[in-house]
Amino acid sequence: MLAVVFGIGVHAADITGDEIIRGAVDSDRHQEVLRQQYLYREHQENGPAAADGSHLKVRVDRDFEVIFLEGGFYRKMVAVDGKPLKPKQAREEEEKLRMTAAERKTKHLNPKFRHTGVPLSAILSVMDHKLLREDEIDGRKCWVVQSEPKPGAAAQTPYETQALSYRYIHWIDERDQAVARIEWEVVKAGVETKPGSTVKVTFAKNGDGAWLARKAEFFSINGDKLGGNRFFQTNVYSDYRKFTAETNIEFEDKP
């Protein structure tokens, strides 16, 4: 439907950055719903980084299975440094899973899990949008739009407040109006990391029409929670599989 509204094959000269982001808002909401239907595997590496963001040393190398547990997503660690967990670690992870399941049974959870940080609807509201160019990603045409905080913008929600600390570049698939790639940089104080910190996330479309995250790259400067002056983290997402009902997990009785 969005393709009909904007017209497949519209050229960059015929559309503005504001129109592109506005048209992508509904697609972004729809994609977030689709993404909640998938379980997946996550490989994470992190460590200190140089001033240019290059990786100095991998300190942590972990694999997680992201599952659906008692109303919400849960990341269960399954490997360290490419090897299955040792028996003690495996027991500890199983106990964390058990305790989380018991706790969640008493709460109503929002199952959403976002790879994209601030939703496009908040970015649309408090930022100015400039169409930079057209690109191709995996053979698909994309509009490239840069978003900057509007001078004097007054945030009305926590997401809008967060957005005003960033500069964004979105690669919006011209046919689906979906985010194929997103990069954002901290440009002023107000979030956990300092100006100069960046995030890059790439997506790929599957056979069901869901644009699922493939890779996220973080470069953080002086983050209080990150344990270092400059820090990198790379997450690779794979083995997506769809589910239609909440995962039921049975625990063995303790000996």
A 10 A CB-CB count for 179 gives: 23
The pLDDT assigned to 211 comes to 96
136 and 209 part of one domain: yes
The answer to whether the beta carbons of residues 44 and 246 sit under 8 Å apart is no
Provide the pLDDT for residue 139.
95
Residues 6+ apart with CB under 8 A from 174: 8, 9, 10, 134, 140, 141, 142, 143
pTM metric for this prediction: 0.85
Q: In what helix (H) or strand (E) does residue 185 lie, and over which residues does it extend?
A: strand 179-186
Domain boundary among 82, 104, 126: 104
Task: Please check whether residues 23 and 87 belong to one and the same domain.
Answer: no
Residue range(s) defining the domain that contains residue 180: 2-36+117-240
**Helix or strand holding residue 38 (H, E):** strand 38-48
Residue 173 and residue 87 share a domain = no
Q: Are residues 137 and 94 in the same domain?
A: no
DSSP for 117-147, written as a single string: SS-HHHHHHHEEEEEEEEEEETTEEEEEEEE
- pLDDT tens digits for the chain (255 residues)? 333 333 344 455 589 999 999 999 999 999 988 998 899 999 999 999 998 899 999 999 999 999 988 878 899 999 999 999 999 999 999 999 999 988 888 876 665 555 667 999 999 999 999 999 999 999 999 999 999 999 999 999 999 999 999 999 999 999 999 999 999 999 998 888 899 999 999 999 999 999 999 999 999 997 554 445 899 999 999 999 988 655 445 444 443
pLDDT at position 221, please? 92
* Domain-embedded: residue 112: no
Would 246 be classed as within a structural domain?
no
With respect to residue 252, please indicate whether it lies within any of the assigned structural domains. no
Domain match, 25 and 43 both = no
Same domain, 137 and 198: yes
| 71/182 same-domain check | no
Instruction: Kindly state the tokens that stand for 144.
Output: 């490239």
Instruction: Tell me: do 136 and 16 sit in the same domain.
Output: yes
- Residues 176, 124 share a domain: yes
* Domain co-membership, 90 together with 121: no
170 inside domain: yes
